[in-house]
């Protein structure tokens, strides 16, 4: 299972980081975890075969996590040659279908009828979706917005957990127990921490409590730039820690 960080930033514009987007390859699955602004251009720049995406999983409805999803649908309709014919599965919290219907009213019918099969799957916390034989996506509620969820991708005996946006949560740590790679938001420095996001120390605590084999930090607001979030997290979590940058690639299971 391979992970590429397409966007390690947030809604705050940054010259170095685009908004949340993470690409996972697992067997035949090409999964996009969130789809914030800049996703497609980053994918093209990093040589990611974005046109082969099979699934998109959205953690919640803040625009820096799904604002470029309509652009992805449009690009798959008009930006590929030959035109896409493979189905696309989009997974998200309850309310996803309603929001896409509203987008279709604003942008046009291609949102729901893009010229290829679009399957909309609304997932509740605690549910599992089989993406392909041997590859499963599961969900867990996080303390951020009413609909926010974390996702786990399981494939070949390996488990990648992506927190999406979250505040500190012992329940989330228990659910992530034993994961091979914890991809955790790390929005703000410890000095500016708030309840709805993680800091380096709280992300390190999450990884330590979960017994994660590896911690990758992402989703950085500008105030954390110029600090060393990996070093701060490592004071709590004794395993390998990386502060991701756009374009970083990781093999799940490697240290």
C-alpha–C-alpha distance, residues 76 and 81, integer Å: 9
CATH number for position 61: 3.60.15.10
Structure-block tokens of residue 40 = 């497609």
The model's pLDDT over 106-144, given as tens digits with 9 standing for 90+, comes to: 999 999 999 999 999 999 999 999 999 999 999 999 999
Residue 183 has pLDDT above 80, yes or no: yes
| Residues of the domain holding 19 | 2-251
Per-residue confidence band for 195, with pLDDT thresholds at 50, 70 and 90? very high
- Would the pTM count as exceeding 0.95? yes
Residue 255 has pLDDT above 90, yes or no: no
How many folded domains does the chain comprise? 1
**Contact between residue 212 and residue 181 where contact means Cβ atoms under 8 Å apart:** yes
First to last CA, the chain: 13
Which residues touch 159 (CB under 8 Å, ≥6 apart)? 152, 153, 178, 179, 180, 181, 252
The model's pLDDT over 209-228, given as tens digits with 9 standing for 90+, comes to: 999 999 999 999 999 998 99
The model's pLDDT over 88-103, given as tens digits with 9 standing for 90+, comes to: 999 999 999 999 999 9
Q: What proportion of the chain, given as a percentage, has pLDDT over 70?
A: 100
């Amino acid at each position: 299972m391979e992970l590429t960080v397409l966007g390690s930033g947030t809604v705050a514009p940054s010259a170095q980081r685009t908004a949340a987007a993470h690409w996972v390859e697992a067997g035949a699955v090409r999964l996009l975890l969130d789809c914030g602004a800049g996703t497609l251009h980053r994918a093209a720049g990093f040589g990611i075969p974005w046109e082969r995406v099979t699934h998109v999983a959205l953690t919640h409805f803040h625009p820096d996590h799904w604002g470029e999803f309509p652009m992805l649908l449009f690009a798959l309709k008009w930006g590929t040659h030959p035109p896409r014919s493979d189905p696309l599965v989009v997974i998200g919290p309850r309310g996803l279908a309603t929001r896409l219907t509203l987008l279709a009213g604003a942008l046009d019918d291609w949102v729901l009828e893009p010229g290829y099969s679009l399957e909309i799957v609304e997932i509740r916390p605690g549910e599992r979706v089989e993406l392909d034989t041997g590859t499963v996506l599961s969900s867990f509620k996080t303390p951020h917005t009413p609909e926010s969820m974390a996702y786990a991708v399981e494939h070949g005996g390996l488990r990648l957990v992506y927190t999406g946006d979250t505040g500190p949560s012992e329940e989330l740590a228990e659910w992530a127990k034993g994961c091979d790679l914890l991809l955790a938001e790390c929005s703000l420095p410890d000095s500016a921490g708030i309840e709805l996001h993680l800091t380096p120390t709280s992300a390190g605590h999450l990884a330590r409590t979960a017994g994660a084999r590896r911690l990758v930090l992402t989703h950085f607001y500008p105030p954390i730039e110029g600090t060393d979030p990996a070093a701060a997290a490592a004071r709590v979590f004794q395993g390998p820690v990386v502060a991701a940058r756009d374009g970083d690639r990781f093999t799940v299971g490697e240290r």
